[in-house]
């Protein structure tokens, strides 16, 4: 049964179920040839406790909130019981890591339980940290509570920002020891996405010189997720390579837009290897990611990335580089290098188009026009120089009036984020002139800006506080953050501390590939 593309009337008649056995399942990935995966049973967490469950994600698969509190939910999402109707498997993929071909990788600690169909289509449910698989290589198949809390929170924070991402359904923890730099404890996150297929899934079959399986994978992805790529556009003759070229062009567009989304909120992914690049253009694999506090254009959030390959300002180019690896993997199906290059050529325009649209909105401009690049560059330069806070910098711009007035009473101003206030004021003078030329009323512009510049962001120190509490079996902070970050744009009473500059100790937090 395929449930990926339902129409609206069906949504209204669907009832949420309280029992996982009543979920409608699909398992389309498991229906692919067995070359694509190994069937694996999860290794259950010892004495698990449910740290948090997400009713919003549950609703997507048709699961009622009551279901989240029951023993069956904990048993399934701690790996102790199979998902009713599921078909657990670990998928194989390969990839380029830090610019170097890494060969075969695969789900070394992730496990696809099955696909559930709900009001919002079909969702793969995947455990992360559920034990060894044939692709675990030197790893232990586990994930620690620290990194699992970070993945759980980030998935939902990204969704709240309106950025395409895998979702998080559940976070389960245990006292089972896991050895990293120190002894930590184990946890499992259940992630959801329409598909977890990665660029590296394609690279795998190209490197294995299996064009037959490469074609099977490409056809699966097209038919299920990019059906618009199958037919030739009107007036164009269909060719054997056409659908694959159109797929590449579509993934190129989505990836470019995702990069624009990340840049616009100061998000650094940290490990943009091709095995972490979603074929659907979703943010995938929340490891050593970070939302920037003070703006540093070259910010590297991953302590293990000593060369700074995945710095914030490198991300758009890395996205393009990764697409070249995907294009290379499609070569056996297309056999035409020039055509592949042409499909990739839309990247820059797609990225800049999306980025300028977003930045115009963040600056409160009705549209991007000539000269705005210099205006924005001036802002980046001033913020970078003083390490002015990324999120508050944009948020406070909404308080800037188009003509110079005295600062809002009691409020902290944009300039307060700068050491060199004169430089900030000089930039503001140019900005005010541009606002006057744009001609919007201040109040309307401020309201629109507050809808695109988040007040609350998942700063490292906020995640850290949630982790510390969770280690003492207190999930209250996780719950508060999930609720708050669901709508990061609207000021919420009592949440002032979440909107403040980070404390000094936040500067000493380090995140790395250790997870």
Residues annotated as catalytic (active site), given as ranges: 275
Burial of 134 (0-12, 13-18, 19+ CB in 10 A): middle
Closest chain position to Mg ion (CB):
285
List the interface residues with Mg ion, window 236-295 (CB under 5 A).
276, 285
The site partner of 105 among ligand ATP, Mg ion, none (C-beta below 5 to 8 Å per kind) is ligand ATP
List the interface residues with ligand ATP, window 256-275 (CB under 6 A).
271, 273, 275
Write down the least CB distance from residue 179 to ligand ATP, Å: 10
Residue 161 to residue 255: CA distance in whole angstroms: 17
Identity of the residue, 142 or 396, whose beta carbon is nearer to ligand ATP in the bound complex: 142
| Residue 325 engages ligand ATP in binding (rule: CB under 6 A) | no
Nearest Cα neighbor of 501 from 435, 430, 418, 427 is: 418
Which residues, in sequence order, are CB contacts of 353 under 8 Å at separation 6+? none
Write down the least CB distance from residue 438 to ligand ATP, Å: 42
- Ramachandran area for residue 87 (φ above 0: left; ψ -120 to 50: alpha; else beta): beta
Calculated CA dihedral for residues 317, 258, 104, 78, nearest 10 degrees: 150
- The SS3 call for residue 427 is helix
| Residue 287 engages ligand ATP in binding (rule: CB under 6 A) | yes
- Binding-site size, Mg ion (CB under 5 A): 2
Identity of the residue, 184 or 275, whose beta carbon is nearer to ligand ATP in the bound complex: 275
By the 8 A CB rule, do 232 and 242 touch? yes
Residue 238 to residue 514: CA distance in whole angstroms: 48
Residue 148 to residue 64: CA distance in whole angstroms: 24
The site partner of 376 among ligand ATP, Mg ion, none (C-beta below 5 to 8 Å per kind) is none
What tokens were used for 212? 């037959």
| Residue 108 engages ligand ATP in binding (rule: CB under 6 A) | yes
Terminal-residue alpha carbon distance, the chain: 37
Q: Which stretch binds ligand ATP (CB under 6 A): 17-25, 136-144, 392-400, 409-417?
A: 136-144
Identity of the residue, 302 or 453, whose beta carbon is nearer to ligand ATP in the bound complex: 302
What tokens were used for 177? 């020891």
According to CB under 6 A, which one of 109, 253, 299, 396 is a site residue for ligand ATP?
A: 109
C-alpha distances (whole Å) from 56 to each of 63, 169, 353, 474 are 9, 8, 31, 21
By the 8 A CB rule, do 389 and 501 touch? yes
Which residues, in sequence order, are CB contacts of 282 under 8 Å at separation 6+? 164, 165, 166, 193, 258
Tell me whether residue 180 is annotated as binding: no
Residue 251 to residue 253: CA distance in whole angstroms: 5
| Residue 396 engages ligand ATP in binding (rule: CB under 6 A) | no
C-alpha distances (whole Å) from 60 to each of 117, 193, 226 are 8, 10, 20
- The SS3 call for residue 332 is helix
Tell me whether residue 128 is annotated as binding: yes
| Residue 184 engages ligand ATP in binding (rule: CB under 6 A) | no
- The SS3 call for residue 373 is helix
Identity of the residue, 58 or 282, whose beta carbon is nearer to ligand ATP in the bound complex: 282
| Residue 110 engages ligand ATP in binding (rule: CB under 6 A) | yes
Tell me whether residue 108 is annotated as binding: yes
Tell me whether residue 504 is annotated as binding: no
Q: At what angle do helices 390-397 and 347-363 cross, to 10 degrees?
A: 60
Write down the least CB distance from residue 29 to ligand ATP, Å: 14
Tell me whether residue 223 is annotated as binding: no
Write down the least CB distance from residue 275 to Mg ion, Å: 6
| Residue 104 engages ligand ATP in binding (rule: CB under 6 A) | no
According to CB under 6 A, which one of 52, 96, 142, 299 is a site residue for ligand ATP?
A: 142
| Residue 139 engages ligand ATP in binding (rule: CB under 6 A) | yes
Residue 175 to residue 394: CA distance in whole angstroms: 42
C-alpha distances (whole Å) from 24 to each of 3, 29, 47, 57, 88 are 9, 15, 29, 15, 16
According to CB under 6 A, which one of 54, 155, 276, 322 is a site residue for ligand ATP?
A: 276
| Residue 156 engages ligand ATP in binding (rule: CB under 6 A) | no
- The SS3 call for residue 46 is coil
Nearest Cα neighbor of 330 from 246, 424, 442 is: 246
Write down the least CB distance from residue 413 to Mg ion, Å: 41
Residue 295 to residue 377: CA distance in whole angstroms: 13
Tell me whether residue 285 is annotated as binding: yes
Tell me whether residue 106 is annotated as binding: yes
- Binding-site size, ligand ATP (CB under 6 A): 20
Identity of the residue, 140 or 438, whose beta carbon is nearer to ligand ATP in the bound complex: 140
List the interface residues with ligand ATP, window 458-477 (CB under 6 A).
none
Which residues, in sequence order, are CB contacts of 35 under 8 Å at separation 6+? 92, 210, 213
| Residue 130 engages ligand ATP in binding (rule: CB under 6 A) | no
Identity of the residue, 25 or 276, whose beta carbon is nearer to Mg ion in the bound complex: 276
Identity of the residue, 180 or 461, whose beta carbon is nearer to ligand ATP in the bound complex: 180
Identity of the residue, 58 or 91, whose beta carbon is nearer to Mg ion in the bound complex: 91
Tell me whether residue 276 is annotated as binding: yes
Write down the least CB distance from residue 150 to ligand ATP, Å: 11
Tell me whether residue 54 is annotated as binding: no
Identity of the residue, 156 or 285, whose beta carbon is nearer to ligand ATP in the bound complex: 285
Chain CA centroid to CA 426, Å: 36
Angle at 169 between CA 166 and CA 171, to 5 degrees: 110
Residues lying near Mg ion in the complex (CB under 5 A) are found at 276, 285
Site residues (vs ligand ATP, CB under 6 A):
105-110, 128, 135-136, 139-142, 271, 273, 275-276, 285, 287, 515
Q: Which residues are annotated as a binding site?
A: 106, 108-109, 128, 140-141, 191, 198, 276, 285
Binding-site residue ranges for Mg(2+): 276, 285
Q: Where is the binding site for ATP, in residues?
A: 106, 108-109, 128, 140-141, 191, 198, 285
């Amino acid at each position: 049964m395929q449930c990926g593309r339902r129409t609206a009337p069906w949504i209204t008649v669907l009832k949420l179920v309280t029992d996982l056995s009543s979920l409608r399942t699909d398992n389309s990935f498991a229906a692919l040839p067995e070359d694509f995966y190994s069937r694996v049973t999860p290794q259950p967490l010892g004495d698990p406790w449910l740290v948090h469950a997400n009713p919003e994600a549950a609703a997507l698969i048709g699961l009622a909130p009551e279901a989240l509190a029951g023993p069956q939910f904990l048993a399934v999402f701690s790996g102790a019981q199979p998902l009713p109707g599921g078909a657990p498997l670990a998928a194989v993929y390969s990839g380029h890591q830090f610019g170097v071909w890494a060969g075969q990788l695969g789900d070394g600690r992730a496990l696809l339980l099955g696909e559930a169909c709900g009001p919002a289509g079909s969702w793969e449910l995947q455990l992360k940290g559920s034990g060894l698989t044939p692709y675990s290589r030197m790893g232990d198949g586990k994930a620690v509570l620290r990194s699992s809390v970070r993945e759980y929170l980030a998935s939902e924070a990204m969704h709240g920002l309106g950025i395409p991402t895998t979702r998080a359904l559940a976070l389960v923890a245990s006292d089972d020891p896991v050895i990293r730099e120190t002894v930590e404890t184990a946890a499992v996150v259940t992630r959801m996405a329409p598909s977890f297929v990665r660029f590296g899934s394609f690279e795998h079959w190209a490197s294995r010189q299996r064009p037959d399986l490469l074609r099977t994978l490409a056809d699966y992805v097209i038919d299920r997720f990019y059906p618009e790529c199958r037919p030739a556009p009107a007036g164009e003759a269909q060719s054997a390579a056409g659908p694959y070229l159109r797929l590449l062009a579509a993934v190129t567009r989505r990836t470019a837009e995702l990069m624009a989304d990340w840049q616009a909120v100061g998000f650094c992914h940290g490990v943009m290897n091709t095995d972490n690049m979603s074929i659907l253009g979703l943010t995938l694999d929340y490891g050593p990611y970070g939302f920037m506090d003070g703006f540093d254009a070259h910010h590297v959030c991953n302590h293990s990335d000593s060369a700074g390959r995945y710095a914030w300002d490198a991300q758009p180019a890395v996205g393009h580089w990764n697409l070249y690896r995907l294009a290379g993997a499609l070569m056996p199906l297309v056999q035409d290098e020039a055509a592949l290059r042409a499909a990739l050529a839309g990247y820059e325009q797609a990225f800049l188009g999306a980025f300028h649209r977003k930045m115009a909105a963040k600056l409160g401009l009705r549209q991007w026009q000539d000269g705005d690049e210099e205006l924005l560059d001036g802002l980046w330069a001033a913020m970078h120089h003083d390490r002015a806070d990324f999120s508050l910098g944009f948020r406070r711009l909404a308080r800037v009036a188009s003509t110079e007035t005295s600062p809002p009473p009691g409020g902290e101003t944009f300039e307060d984020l700068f050491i060199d206030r004169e430089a900030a004021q000089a930039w503001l003078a140019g900005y005010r002139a541009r606002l006057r030329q744009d001609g919007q009323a201040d109040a309307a512009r401020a309201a629109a800006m507050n809808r695109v510049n988040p007040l609350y962001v998942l700063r490292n120190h906020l995640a850290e506080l949630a982790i510390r509490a969770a280690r003492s079996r207190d999930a209250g902070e996780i719950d508060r953050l999930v609720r708050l970050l669901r709508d990061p744009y609207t000021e919420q009473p009592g949440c002032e501390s979440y909107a403040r500059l980070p404390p000094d100790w936040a500067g000493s937090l380090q995140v790395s590939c250790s997870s």
